[in-house]
Amino acid sequence: MEAWKRLGGFIGDHMAFVSPTCVVLAVLFPEVFSVMKPAVTAFFAFMTFQGAISNTFGNLARTVRHPLPMVVTLLITTVLMPVLACGLATLIFGSNPNLVCGIVLEYTVPVAVTSAIWINLYEGDPALGLATTLVSTVAAPFTIPLTLHLLLGQVVEVDAARMMGEMLVSIALPALAGTAVNEFSHGWGARQLSPVLAPAAKIALIMVILANSTGVAPYVRNLTPQLVAVTVFIGLFACSGFAWGALAAHLMRKPWAQRVSLTYLCGLRNISAGAVLAGEYFPGEVMFPVVIGTLFQQVLSAFWGTVLRRMKSEDAAGETAGELSS
């Protein structure tokens, strides 16, 4: 059992290397790893369950009673970033409205389910992560059409039933089940079960990265100079999402756990939802900016985990120095 736990710790400590390696492998061998796509929802459900085992209904109630971090996150993800994406994309790629549309769509979709997994991995606030992801997904059938209409004049109809069904299976039910296990076992779930399941959850995350990254392989193999420019833009703009979340938490003077949560909630998007909308309502070229985000999300998640850990160490060193000087 100790070897199993050490494996989980090794994966967690080396995600900055594991994530980009998985993306590269998926792009090089998409036919090998795409067979796992049907299992992605099950992987999500398991990871959400494992992350929620350390949660309590009291924590969820606290998140609802003190909603400012959630509200700020939703404002950043549904207002600030789509508006910035539209303005910058129009300025840089205005000659190609399809690429502009794809970039805006990429940052109009809801918060990604994987944010909860990264939040748990770096000791964030799981209640804030789960609650914000749920609210973002529930609101998406309304916010996506409204945002695209206001910014681009595009009219789309989001499949609310499909989105709600995916949310129930991959987020809501596993989160409630995990929280209930911990609550009714009086903390046994968090103390004993969660550490045992944690390595499996990290392996599941690797499987998700491998499976989801295969979708970008055809686009990477057919890059043009303009598409390379779009790829660079998406990478930089995706990184800014994490930065907005970290900055907002810092300005609000939130504790470490909520700083981690805001960083990942603002940085990660439900790309699969964006890809579905792009395929149903827009020309094929719109798909590229949406799907290419797969190259960066998990790699940036690992990078920001390293940044956050360094920030935590510096904060701890500063507090120790302050105590010694006093």
Q: Is the dihedral of CA 62, 65, 66, 70 positive or negative?
A: positive
Phi and psi for 111 in degrees, rounded to 5?
-60, 145
In a domain, 162, yes or no: yes
Tally of CB atoms within 10 A around 80: 16
What letters, b where the CB count within 10 A reaches 16 and e where it falls short, cover 278-304?
A: beebbeebbbbbbbbbbbbbbbbbbbb
Between CA 290 and CA 102 the distance in angstroms is 6
* CA-to-CA separations, 45 to 35, 52, 80, 111, 251, in angstroms, rounded: 18, 10, 30, 16, 33
Domain span holding position 156: 2-316
Here the tokens at position 11 are 């994966």
In a domain, 13, yes or no: yes
Q: Could you give the number of structural domains in the chain?
A: 1
Residue type at 173 in one-letter notation: L
In a domain, 322, yes or no: no
Q: Is the pLDDT of residue 326 over 80?
A: no
Q: Is the pLDDT of residue 120 over 70?
A: yes
pLDDT band at 318 (very low <50, low <70, confident <90, very high): low
Tally of CB atoms within 10 A around 100: 24
Residues 6+ apart with CB under 8 A from 43: 204, 205, 207, 208, 211
pLDDT band at 241 (very low <50, low <70, confident <90, very high): very high
Q: Name the residue with higher pLDDT: 157 or 244.
A: 244
Residue type at 286 in one-letter notation: V
Q: Is the pLDDT of residue 218 over 90?
A: no
Largest CA distance in the chain: 64
Here the tokens at position 124 are 């964030």
The percent of residues above 70 in pLDDT, for the chain, comes to: 96
In a domain, 324, yes or no: no
Model pLDDT for residues 10-33, shown as the tens digit of each residue? 887 777 788 888 888 988 899 999
pTM for the model stands at 0.83
Q: In this structure, are residues 164 and 134 in contact, taking their beta carbons and an 8 Å threshold? A: no
Mean pLDDT of the chain: 86
Q: Which one, of 254, 295, 285, 289, lies nearest residue 274 by Cα? A: 289
Q: In this structure, are residues 308 and 24 in contact, taking their beta carbons and an 8 Å threshold? A: no
Q: Which of 15-19, 81-85, 149-153, 301-305 has the lowest mean pLDDT?
A: 15-19
Between CA 129 and CA 29 the distance in angstroms is 33
In a domain, 101, yes or no: yes
In a domain, 325, yes or no: no
| Strand residue runs (E) in 196-259 | none
In a domain, 266, yes or no: yes
Q: Is the pLDDT of residue 316 over 70?
A: no
Q: Name the residue with higher pLDDT: 273 or 106.
A: 106
CATH of the domain at 298: 1.20.1530.20
Residue type at 53 in one-letter notation: I
Model pLDDT for residues 184-197, shown as the tens digit of each residue? 998 898 888 988 99
Q: Which one, of 190, 201, 41, 214, lies nearest residue 113 by Cα? A: 41
pLDDT band at 234 (very low <50, low <70, confident <90, very high): very high
pLDDT band at 142 (very low <50, low <70, confident <90, very high): confident
Q: In this structure, are residues 216 and 230 in contact, taking their beta carbons and an 8 Å threshold? A: no
In a domain, 323, yes or no: no
Q: Name the residue with higher pLDDT: 241 or 169.
A: 241
